[in-house]
Amino acid sequence: MKAILYRGKEEIQYTDIPLPIIGTGEAVIKIAFAGICGSDMFIYTGTHPRAKAPLIMGHEFSGEIAQLPAGYNGAFAVGDKVTINPLLSCLSCTPCQTGNTHVCKTLGLTGIDTDGGFTEYAKVPINQLVKLPGNMNMEHGAIVEPVAVAVHAIRRSTLQIGDKVLVIGGGPIGVLVALAARHAGAENIIVIEPNEFRRNIITELGFIALSQPEPELIMNWTNGDGADVVFEAAGVQASMDAATKYCKIRGQVVIVSSFKKAVYADLLRVNFAELNLIGIRVYTKKDFATAVELVEKYPEFAKVITHKFSLQEAQKGLDLMRQGADNLKVLLYPEQN
């Protein structure tokens, strides 16, 4: 079968590899679409702390079950449309034992710590399979995982119906957070994003899009108070500065992005305004189930998909994302599709 192998820093290879051989508790998925995530870019550029070459990247993917173990008599069948919850938890540490497997002490991910979905067929544990509705567009199925991140951010927040929300960073996750916030009852949402291509999509989705923080506009929009909830989704110092600055007194700042280095936070502002500052990490199984429902019911979530390339063209997709060019979610698909 064909696959994209990460060979080392800035080096991938479109090549033939053997078809996967499954053992007890494993399944083979015939890949339909796989999304390129920011974490894949850190792998590609050689800066991911765990990923090691050779590796098949990709943890956001959809497909059909092609093979199950002999004698399997569970909830899945060959031909089922599925995506995967890519989390690899130890199930024995304190977080796992207390129902928080998503923050396992040794949490890993398919596509980072084991081979993933940038291929024609992927082998995964059966317990990672998440069934998709039979009529779901498989492109949409490939964005369930990032939608689950957005759902988790909303669920962990204090968001109330009618709240005013500020999202800082209009990349795929920021846009999905804005959409999830709207469906959770946010009254008005501003998204700050410097890229014009992305701002146009954000505006088309019905949000206020700003290229940078506009203090007078933001404060007028919030009656001089600041946003009820701020979602930081850019992962840079400027976004952290804006998050605490434009959050209302006793409001909440939710750190959605993964900062790659330590940044300064205005803790005096956090103290004096009694801000509630929290971080989030990936998602729970409940969040994943909710994400499937949202993607099925609301096609607008799929508006984040802006580009599709065949596996053979994977370099184009990686280059597009690395150059910071006009894009949101980039999908790869096997030529067999």
pLDDT tens, 291-317? 999 999 999 999 999 999 999 999 999
pTM beyond 0.95: the answer is yes
Q: What is the CATH number of the domain that holds 308?
A: 3.90.180.10
Q: What do you get for the CA distance between the two ends of the chain, in Å?
A: 14
pLDDT digits (tens, 9 = 90+) for 157-203: 999 999 999 999 999 999 999 999 999 999 999 999 999 999 999 99
Beta bridge partners of 110: 114
Strands 164-168 and 188-192: parallel
Which residues lie closer than 8 Å to 268 by C-beta, 6 or more apart?
A: none
Q: What is the CATH number of the domain that holds 234?
A: 3.40.50.720
- How much of the chain exceeds pLDDT 70, in percent? 100
Tell me what pLDDT residue 73 has: 95
User: Does 289 map to a domain?
Assistant: no
Q: Find the domain containing 259 and state its range.
A: 148-279
Same domain, 130 and 152: no
Tell me what pLDDT residue 325 has: 77
Domain count, the chain: 2
pLDDT digits (tens, 9 = 90+) for 90-135: 999 999 999 999 999 999 999 999 999 999 999 999 999 999 999 9
User: Does 152 map to a domain?
Assistant: yes
Same domain, 197 and 321: no
Same domain, 183 and 242: yes
User: Does 287 map to a domain?
Assistant: no
What amino acid occupies position 66?
A: A
Tell me the two tokens of residue 215: 């203090």
Tell me what pLDDT residue 260 has: 86
Same domain, 207 and 120: no
Tell me what pLDDT residue 337 has: 58
Q: How confident is the model at residue 26 (pLDDT cuts 50, 70, 90)?
A: very high
